Structure 1
Amino acid sequence: MIVVDPNFVRLMRRLRQQQGMSFRELASKAHFSHSYLWEIESGKKPPSMHLAKALDACLNAEGQLTRLVTTVADDQETEKRLRSAESGDGPDRDAEAWRTRPAWSAQTGGPAPVSASQWAQVATMLYDVFVRSRPPLMRLGPDRYTNPSLQQQNLTPFAAEATMQGRAPRVECRAVSRQQPPSDVAALLSLDLGDAVVLRENRYLADGEPVQLGHTYLPTRVVGTSTLATELDLGPGGTFAALERLGYRTARIREQVTTRFPTRDEAEALKLPPGVPVIVLLHASFDSDGFPFEATRYIMRSDAMAVQYVAKVAA
């Protein structure tokens, strides 16, 4: 949990004005969107620790802003909520009463207990109001592979675009193995029958919430015995930085987007409520010679992520 000193907003505004910077100029330097910086300075959103450090560097604040942002362990917040629930105060009290009300009514001769289907309808309504109304994390299409933050801050594409949108990114590599690829991936990578790949299975989180899964398929002739084939943690820059160190730089991409309902394993990994479909994006990277050296099948929560493409149209 992030705790922000009320003086953060005033200090940020004063430093920015002293430097004579507009929001767009500061956004360009800090690699955050100007609209997000405006929301921070106007007090509409709290800053992350990563943003505070970036602003300190851009505004020559020598750590003044960072010192006004404190990270508090989650277990302290959990303990606080438990104490509140035990004392009968706070939102947990109302939630507990709401959950137990049908049984209480039945015992006292009141209305019959609410059916499971009716509870599901109520849950769906609340989910629509409090979850779907939040802005989705935007996947920025081709721009994610040319973002200057990737080179300057050694960020993965996911981390760069999440950070620009004011979200705290985290990537978990859950497994690395050798596999026979699915037929569509084999065709995309121009593999021969029987060719194996290294499969890297990742889960992507924004603000601690799982929003995406990624199954990355790498031809064995590309990765050999490098860390891509053996290690869970690839260090700064992730998969694409490791591929660049092997001489494979993305010059062109191909992406196909479809939708479907998740498998049980996908729903559990993404903590999906019932009835929420997923966006499936099959991505492939090609070098300047047209050689396909990487393919990833991304499974995205349709209620938490969106895909954006901007392309030039010839006159």
Structure 2
Amino acid sequence: MVVVDPDFVRLMRRLRQEHGMSFRDLAKKAYFSRSYLCEVENGKKPPSLHLAKALDACLNAEGQLTRLVNTGPDDQEPESRSRSAATVDCPDRDVEAWRMRSTWSAQAGRTAPVSASQWAQVATMLYDVFVRSRPPLMRLGPVRYANSSVRQQHLTPFAVEATMQGRAPRVECRAVSRQQPPSDVAALLSLDLGDAVVLRENRYLADGEPVQLGHTYLPTCVVGTSTLATELDLSSGGTFAALERLGYRTARIREQVTTRFPTRGEAETLNLPPGVPVIVLLHASYDSDGFPFEATRYIMRSDAMAVQYVAKVAA
């Protein structure tokens, strides 16, 4: 839960005006969207702790804004907020949801089981009400690895792009193991047959909702016995900050995007509704010498995420 002092809005406006910054100027410097900053300053959206820290840095506020934002445990708030937004945006569908729930409850008291088609109707209705009405979280392609906030504020690329879009990010590392990589990953990393890697299995959440999985493969010659090979919690900056501390900085990336239907395990871990495919993005990072030091297979919910690429076209 985020608790914001009412003085935050007034202080943010005063500092921005004192520095002669427009919302466009501040957005470029803080790496948050202009519309999100405008909504925060006008009191339409609460600021996140990440935003407060970024504004303190951009506006030379020496922590004044950060001190006005307090966080506390409240795991139910993101879901409740999402459901409330869906209720406001989709009143007719909520009436239909109530009507269907009443019919379903009445049938539950009978001896006849609910048919498969009725289960499908309920699933479709819930999906329409709580998922379709929300915009997807945009994965910003190569830009996410060049964003200065990743290094200056010790944030992960996912945390930066989620926060820029007004979402609360969270990453859970669910397992760290040592094993042989799949053949396509071994080829990306230029590994010999039988070479082992460290596998880090992450789940990424936005506003408490799981939106993607990430299986990161790291050559043992890169991570050795560092925390990347032994610890679930990597503290600030995540995997890429830990790799940079070992001397591996991303200079070039290679990404391949495909789609398919999820496995049962993926569907359960991502809380996917029936019939929703996933976006599979196979990523590899290279240093300035062209050495591939990391590969990640991202499994993204196609109903909750989208991928955006912007590239220059040679004349």
- Superposition TM-score, scaled by structure 1 size: 0.83
Asked if the contact 2:212/2:301 (under 8 Å) is kept, the reply is yes
Tell me which residue corresponds to 1:243.
243
Counterpart of 2:106, as a letter, is W
**Structure 1 residues 277 and 36, CA gap change in structure 2 (3 angstroms):** same
Counterpart of 1:166, as a letter, is G
Asked if the contact 2:167/2:206 (under 8 Å) is kept, the reply is yes
**Structure 1 residues 293 and 9, CA gap change in structure 2 (3 angstroms):** same
Distance 2:260 2:20 in 1: 49
Residues 273-312 of structure 1 aligned to structure 2 (within 5 Å): 273-312=273-312
Counterpart of 1:188, as a letter, is L
Residues 184-199 of structure 1 aligned to structure 2 (within 5 Å): 184-199=184-199
Asked if the contact 1:103/1:113 (under 8 Å) is kept, the reply is no
Distance 2:115 2:10 in 1: 52
| Higher Cα radius of gyration | 1
Distance 2:239 2:76 in 1: 35
Summarize deviations over 1:189-223 as a string: whole Å, max 9, x none. Answer: 11111111111111111122111111111111221
Counterpart of 1:161, as a letter, is E
Residues 64-213 of structure 1 aligned to structure 2 (within 5 Å): 65-66=65-66, 69-71=69-71, 73-74=73-74, 99-104=101-106, 115-213=115-213
**Structure 1 residues 44 and 307, CA gap change in structure 2 (3 angstroms):** same
Distance 1:37 1:57 in 2: 15
- For structure 2, list consecutive stretches of 5 or more residues without a partner in the other structure: 81-93
Distance 1:186 1:146 in 2: 26
Residues 17-28 of structure 1 aligned to structure 2 (within 5 Å): 17-28=17-28
Summarize deviations over 1:147-178 as a string: whole Å, max 9, x none. Answer: 01011111111112112222221111111111
- For structure 1, list consecutive stretches of 5 or more residues without a partner in the other structure: 81-91
Counterpart of 1:279, as a letter, is I
Asked if the contact 2:138/2:306 (under 8 Å) is kept, the reply is yes
Deviation, structure 1 residue 39: 2.3
Distance 2:225 2:63 in 1: 42
- Structure 2 SS opposite 1:37: helix
Distance 1:269 1:105 in 2: 30
Distance 2:122 2:184 in 1: 40
Distance 1:171 1:107 in 2: 42
Distance 2:67 2:142 in 1: 36
**Structure 1 residues 130 and 179, CA gap change in structure 2 (3 angstroms):** same
Counterpart of 1:216, as a letter, is T
**What is the percent sequence identity of the aligned residues?**
86
Distance 2:255 2:107 in 1: 54
Distance 1:75 1:227 in 2: 28
When the two structures are aligned, how many residues end up with a matched partner? 299
Deviation, structure 1 residue 7: 5.7
Asked if the contact 2:136/2:306 (under 8 Å) is kept, the reply is yes
Verify: 1:257 aligned to 2:266, yes or no: no
Asked if the contact 1:27/1:34 (under 8 Å) is kept, the reply is yes
Counterpart of 1:222, as a letter, is V
Summarize deviations over 1:97-118 as a string: whole Å, max 9, x none. Answer: 853444537989xxx9974413
CA RMSD of aligned residues (A): 3.0
Distance 1:55 1:134 in 2: 27
Distance 2:157 2:105 in 1: 50
Deviation, structure 1 residue 129: 4.0
Deviation, structure 1 residue 126: 4.0
- Structure 2 SS opposite 1:255: strand
Asked if the contact 1:102/1:113 (under 8 Å) is kept, the reply is no
- Structure 1 SS opposite 2:235: coil
